[in-house]
Amino acid sequence: MDLIINLFRGGTLHMGQDPNVTAVGGAEVDFGKLYEESLRTVKTGDVVRGWVVQVTREQVTVDIGYKSEGSIPIREFLDRDGQVTVKTGDEIDVYFDSDEGDEGGPVLSRAKAEQLKVWRDIEDAFRNEGTIIGVVTGKVKGGLKVDVGVSAFLPGSHADLRPVRNLDRFLGESMPFAVLKYNRGRGNVVVSRRAVMERERQQLKEETLKVLEEGVIIEGIVKNITDYGAFVDLGGIDGLLHVTDMSWG
């Protein structure tokens, strides 16, 4: 109800306009709809949409259409550089922890809402052979540590299509990963860059096979050179360019 009152005070109602709808900050707000949303039942564990109504140095106040507003510590809205990532008027998803905290309002969390979304994305990528974006943050025994919203492990053998001697070159890189396995209860996630590259290579191979026939001219990338010729990637397919066919002399 706080949101409805505040909006009404700052809104502008024009003649001939629906009395339940007014303009706030250039946007129309349906008070009837807001009132209905304010009466909705929210239970612990729900992720709900809310509006940022105030940002201070210590907390962010969010209205979720509940009987009162909730406050979230400002630290949950800081990026890696310590900058606040939201402003008044933003719509955000928050986790409903309980209906009444120490200050009387509902206990909300942005961090928990984001964690739930991360795990849903991980599960979706695993079940549907999709990908998630991660940043390689460090080296660990046997591979690399990847931040995908939660900490994940990238085995060294899954960093590339071919064995990589120096994994340092991946540090700080952002790239898509496939999810090999995960355990939400234990917080374990194992990812693979090689699986993503293999899928892309298979798609390229299928496209190449559609146009590949004797006599066709096709561009390729030299992948390896030997005494008897060069191996060329034609797009998912490796071809051998024999040394006797490289030039006239």
pLDDT digits (tens, 9 = 90+) for 45-101: 788 888 999 999 999 999 888 777 888 999 989 888 888 888 998 999 898 887 775
- Give dist(CA 185, CA 89) in Å, integer: 35
pLDDT at residue 55, rounded to an integer: 92
Q: What's the pTM?
A: 0.64
CA distances from 121 to 118, 127, 133, 178, 193 (A): 5, 10, 10, 11, 17
pLDDT digits (tens, 9 = 90+) for 161-203: 888 889 999 999 999 999 999 999 899 999 999 999 999 888 8
Q: Residue 20: which H helix or E strand, with range? A: none
- Give dist(CA 96, CA 159) in Å, integer: 38
pLDDT digits (tens, 9 = 90+) for 117-139: 999 999 999 999 999 999 999 99
